[in-house]
A and B are shown apart, each in its own frame.
Chain A
Amino acid sequence: MASNRTFTSPALTFELVARCPVTRARASILTLPHGAVNLPIFMPVATQASLKGLTPEQLEATGCRLCLNNTYHLGLKPGQEVLDAVGGAHKLQGWNHNILTDSGGFQMVSLLKLANITEEGVRFLSPHDGSPMLLTPEHSMSLQNSIGSDIMMQLDDVLVTTSPDKARMREAMERSVRWLDRCIAAHKNPDTQNLFCIIQGGLDLDMRRECCREMLARNTPGIAIGGLSGGEAKDDFCKVVAACTELLPDLKPRYVMGIGYPEDLVVSVALGADMFDCVWPTRTARFGNAITKHGMLNMKREMYAADFGPIEEGCGCPCCRPTEEEGAMGITRAFVHHNAAKETVAAHLLTLHNVWYQLDLMRQARQAIIEDRFPAFVKGFFGNLYPDRNSYPTWAVDALRGVGIDLIQT
């Protein structure tokens, strides 16, 4: 089924468009049941079938064509019965583009104190009434089938990467492989929904490689690198991503789960990853923070009270774009400051800006890959973010040096 540029499976086509000759960065087109998306991509997280106050129409206008929903949350509210009755999550939220769902497992482990994992599945107490519940691979598939997501994730045994317990880490990795088999067997709609595997193995690169081989043997249409939740050191994170991408086939999408800081995205793209998601850009918006190419700005600070410039000069989002342009709102920092933490509108505006920033960063990276100037793009990105080269983070310098970009030398 694979030509040398295109891979096709029943519910997905992956077309490699360009490859950076220096780094491992790739530009591609991923065609899913609800349309094509350009990779690399950042996927905003609409946890409960809504992106924090934005209408689906506003989200669409940012250029977003693939967003996340969380299975755990949708399983609780509105619940599987309602999802079935309504006809899935696309219909529920009026979103005619693509949706990716997680398995629900990670949310339980991270949100619920009392979750514990057995071979059968994840045991936890219902947040409704405290009654014991069990999420199995089969149940996760059934929920995600009801949601109807374009990309479903396998249930995996997630352990924080920093766990010192090697034996437990191996158990989790091997169990994740066994659970993938159960997920594949339980998946009811392989022709209309894609199931991605998740590579586990903590920070142990050999275990990661072993997991890669096991997962690849199951031939899912896409591959995720999991378990990197931010607790680990950044250079460990980069080593894991690099070790995995080295083994992964060229013609399948590679998704690094749960990362969203702009630096992490740019470095991960250089390391050969294609897809990312994170709640941070939208969560931080609710705290009054704007993501800009010069770093994060907290609009609640008094210095912005009478700042009548846009949130970010040069930004093309509906808040910031020059007022003479179509669809421009003419939002000033002063107005966001005025309403931050006081009116929901300020959070909505920053969410709009931040989502735009993240999507646009990936658009720019993609364009740079296609135009064969990705290393210059990466250097420009770090140049904007830091006052001088001495302040570049070591982990980024090292990781990029590993794929042929020297940030320090010109």
Chain B
Amino acid sequence: MTVDNQNLESGAMRFEVIKAALKGGAAARLGRLAFARRLPIDTPNYMGVTSRGALPHLTPDNVSKHLETTGAYMALEDFIERPQQYAKRTPPIYETPTTTKHNTRLHSFTALPQSVTTVLSARRLPAVASPMGNTNASVSVFTSTGFQVLTTKEYLSAVKTLTPDIAIPPADLTHSPITPNSKRALRMAERTDEWVVDWFSELSDSNNPRISTFAPVLPVSYSIQWEYISRLAEDYLPTSQLSGLAIYDADLLPDLAEHCAALVPLPRLSLADPPTPHHILRQITLGIDLFALPFINTISDAGLALSFTFPPPTTTNTSSVSESSSSCTGGPSPLAIDLSLPAHATSLLPLTPNCTCYACTSHHRAYIHHLLSAREMLGWTLLQIHNHAIMSAFFAGVRSMLAQGVAQEGNFDEAVRRFTLAYEPEFPEGVGQRPRARGYQYKSVGGGEGRRNKPAWSKLDGKAQDEEDGRIEA
């Protein structure tokens, strides 16, 4: 099974399923996704989620040197704010010149290493729900200057200008945890259908062989969106305009495989925001190839170091996973260790044993504990480096289990089962203070983020606090 949209030299994308379960359809599979001039992505795999074009706390040199991450999720709403005094300005990103080192505007503006594959969507992941809602021709987006209307036309034009490797067409989503009623769900499907039709007719006019479209599959039941999905399979698959699927609810995959087998060879990108590795594994078993993973950022901000491996350690002695765990009782190990806890104050151990990341090979828990306690920004940088390394290793472990011979078909499922037992179901909360909320994206969730942290240096005068704290000033 191979999806090949290669146009000779400028070839857009190539996806190859190396190994899929014999039963076919919705099941874990091993593949390779390759874009011209990017590092190929062995799947299952993940991409980092950027904020305003940056992987939080990581300068591009640290990304190149210390991350194996081969993909980055970007949101157009992070680039198109309209400052009050300059409401009419063209978003600068549209005018960025490309260079030999950064061959798309998206790479060039963000200085993202060119080896990294980009995904562009209209909204952040997860997105803040808009009180205004979408219209027939626009989605409501949330920028640093507030909610604004993004017409589907403007979004398409941005995609053409920025040339991401993967573009997600606009989808009529509510971004709310509440399941839409069937009337609303039907309208979501109809609008998305119309938008996707416009998208392909516009995109085919232009010469954009490098942009691969991953069409959204909505988080509503298959029966509500079957017309839209059938159109994808019948109209846009044969023309090679459709390159992949952006899945907002992995539980739809069995229905998709059953009713629309033609779509099975397409790469599937999960935008379903799995909250834990358990959820990731479940989505992999449903056939997800690639994930955008927002939780890495929130885990790092919470002062947590991921501490799981896949497959899980086979020894009964799980205490090697974390010295602060309750493993002596034989219970499941934590998914992450909380570096803010005083137990780490003098520990010269790496964050997790055997981790080869920069944070673990050059530093130790005591330093990261100190940095978190002193609210020094480097603490979050080092945790990001480690947490990305753990995720890369996790997916490498998944692939190696999937790659084992047909005779050992059950190995992966068995490892998943053991993983479920070996680790706690959820991440610890993290007692540490978060970095200062960086701007706007938290506002609408109650404004609590700013007040979460107690003021530091309360005995000092205001000037001193301004001078010595570890935050950037808003």
Q: Which positions in A face B, CB cutoff 8 Å? A: 47-58, 73, 77-78, 82, 85-86, 91-94, 110-113, 125-127, 130, 279, 283, 286-287, 302, 305-306, 308, 318, 323-324, 327-332, 334-335, 337-339, 341-349, 352
Contact = CB atoms under 8 A, between A and B. Distances in A.
Interface in B376-394: 376-382
A338 B79 contact: yes
Contacts of A82: 345-346, 366, 370
A343 B54 contact: yes
5 contacts: A49-B367, A73-B468, A113-B461, A127-B459, A306-B90
B459 A344 contact: no
Given A52-B378, A308-B96, 12 more contacts: A48-B370, A50-B378, A55-B378, A86-B366, A94-B363, A113-B461, A125-B459, A130-B459, A305-B92, A324-B101, A328-B101, A348-B57
B213 interface: no
Nearest to B471: A286
Contacts of B379: 50
B438 A342 contact: yes
Contacts of A308: 95-97
A53 B459 contact: no
Contacts, number: 188
A106 to B, nearest CB: 12
B212 interface: no
Contacts of A306: 89-90, 92, 95
B473 interface: yes
A92 B367 contact: yes
Nearest to A285: B472
Interface of B: 51-54, 56-62, 79, 83, 85-86, 89-90, 92-93, 95-97, 99-102, 108-111, 144, 345-346, 348, 358, 362-364, 366-367, 369-371, 373-374, 376-382, 435, 438-439, 457-461, 464, 467-468, 470-474
B382 A345 contact: no
Contact of B101 (A323, A338, A341): A323
B426 to A, nearest CB: 27
A56 B53 CA distance: 24
B61 A329 contact: yes
A346 B377 CA distance: 12
A112 B367 CA distance: 26
Nearest to A334: B92
Contact of B60 (A52, A110, A111, A331): A331
Contacts of A332: 96, 108-109, 111
A177 to B, nearest CB: 28
A350 to B, nearest CB: 10
B457 A127 contact: yes
A326 to B, nearest CB: 11
B95 to A, nearest CB: 6
A332 B439 CA distance: 21
